[in-house]
Amino acid sequence: MLHPIDEAYRAWSPKSCQMSLRACEVFPGGDTRASAHYDPYPLTMQKGEGCYLYDVDGHKILDFMNNFTSMIHGHGNDKITRAVSEQVALGTAYAAPSEGQIELAELIVSRVASIDQIRFCSSGTEATLMAIRCARACTGKQKIMKMEGGYHGSYELAEVSLIPEPSLRGELDRPNSLAIDGSFPDSVLSDTVVCPFNEPDMAKHLIDEYADELAAVIVEPIMGSMGMIPATKAFLETLKSVTSQHGILLIFDEVISLRLSGGGAQEIFEIEPDLTCMGKIIGGGLPIGAVGGKRQYMQIFDPSNPNKVFHASTFSGNALTMAAGFAAMTLYSASEAKRLNLLGEKLKNGFNQAFQQSGIHGQATGLGSLVNLHFTDRDINDSRDALSGMIDAGHFGRLLHLCMLKRGVMSASRLMFCVSSPMREEEINFAITALHESLAELRPYIKAERPKLLA
């Protein structure tokens, strides 16, 4: 039997429902991207304008998803549109150097202190992959340490232990390397050392133990996939000091967190990694990735280097993405990053108040313009804490997402929200009101089905 909230969602979005039936014929499960899918079916969008999306049923929806944090200027920004239109007329991809590549690279190098040189690629996935290959080639070692719950793209190593399933994950000080589906070769699991997030002493212990085999430690300064959990400064400082002591490369995955300041999250934490992976916002809404870092490591990509790592990739540095990225990043000044961070903090505080007033256990975590909701008021320091909140919530995370959509507010289905530059206080207040109302709508169902979620 359908839950009444699902029924109401279906009644509210009949054209999206029809569209999903059509999509099911040509896409397995009716979608072409797992992370953007949600049940019972996702809304089909027709267009985006500023911070709003318009779906096929004619709803105007405030977009706090921003294509998973990449649309820093929302949709259809004038300057980006003009830059892209001008470039389209001049050709989109040349397989040759262009000034546009140098301009965007110079802009990033001038802002991110740890980056001397860059390589562009076409996705964040490719950026972390190339960073790992760089680290292996530079150190001659094979294993990679990643955080339990961390996500670095759509390939096996980048997803090891993404979901720390309680019955399989092992002890916190020595987590097991877990496959998240049946596609993982054993070699990937044995090449990956899983580290507990935000546990400096345990991390040091594991790095010391595997020092002779570890090429790199990869970490997000704020763990996105498991619900925007900021790293502590002490944790990142420990990773920095122990890796440099052992000649292991420290890779910051700033595919999401670069937006937190002109110089990325590394500027906020005042810690310089050896390599930085980027993506999302630096493409101005078009597909992109980049790996950057200290010259001594980036030299491994130099075609004249006898020990080079071969990095090709058909759309790397394509002229269209470079034009969009340069326009977007020029617009995204340090003061604009600060303004968005303040709006994000206001959103987080307002969400926390909404949970408190609702009498439902829950909280918002995050940093600056990145926010995530969780159905628990226990402290959230790592992916295990976040997962136990998700398990406690049962299907109420999913239902809350639908309730917010019906009120015209879109987040990721895992309840991740991020702010974009067309937003003002008005949009933040709108989302906070939507959460108050959504929690009030859910409360009777929670009382009946999951009373332990009530305060």
Nearer to ligand PLP among residue 224 and residue 362 (C-beta) = 224
**Which residues lie near ligand PLP (CB under 6 A)?**
68, 123-125, 128, 151-154, 220, 224, 253, 255-256, 279, 289
Q: Distances from the Cα of 401 to the Cαs of 409, 412, 444, in angstroms?
A: 9, 8, 17
Residue 305 beta carbon to ligand PLP: minimum distance, rounded to whole angstroms: 26
Nearer to ligand PLP among residue 146 and residue 240 (C-beta) = 146
Continuous H helices in 396-451? 396-406, 425-449
Angle at CA of residue 112, ends 111 and 115, nearest 5°: 125
Question: What is residue 417's DSSP assignment?
Answer: E
153: phi > 0 → left, psi -120 to 50 → alpha, else beta; which?
left
Residue 220 beta carbon to ligand PLP: minimum distance, rounded to whole angstroms: 5
Nearer to ligand PLP among residue 65 and residue 399 (C-beta) = 65
Nearer to ligand PLP among residue 128 and residue 413 (C-beta) = 128
Nearer to ligand PLP among residue 193 and residue 256 (C-beta) = 256
Residue 78 beta carbon to ligand PLP: minimum distance, rounded to whole angstroms: 25
Nearer to ligand PLP among residue 54 and residue 155 (C-beta) = 155
Residue number of the CB atom closest to ligand PLP: 124
Nearer to ligand PLP among residue 123 and residue 438 (C-beta) = 123
Q: What does the DSSP assignment read for 57-126?
A: T--EEEESSHHHHT-TT-BS-HHHHHHHHHHHHH-S--SS--HHHHHHHHHHHHH-TT-SEEEEESSHHH
415-444 as b/e, with b when 16 or more CB fall inside 10 Å? bbbbbbbbbeeebbeebbebbbebbebbee
Residue 289 beta carbon to ligand PLP: minimum distance, rounded to whole angstroms: 6
Residue 416 beta carbon to ligand PLP: minimum distance, rounded to whole angstroms: 10
Read off the amino acid at residue 308.
K
Read off the amino acid at residue 100.
G
Helix and strand totals (H; E) in the chain: 17, 16
Residue 62 beta carbon to ligand PLP: minimum distance, rounded to whole angstroms: 21
C-beta of residue 215 within 8 angstroms of C-beta of residue 246: no
- Helix or strand or coil: residue 188? helix
Residue 442 beta carbon to ligand PLP: minimum distance, rounded to whole angstroms: 28
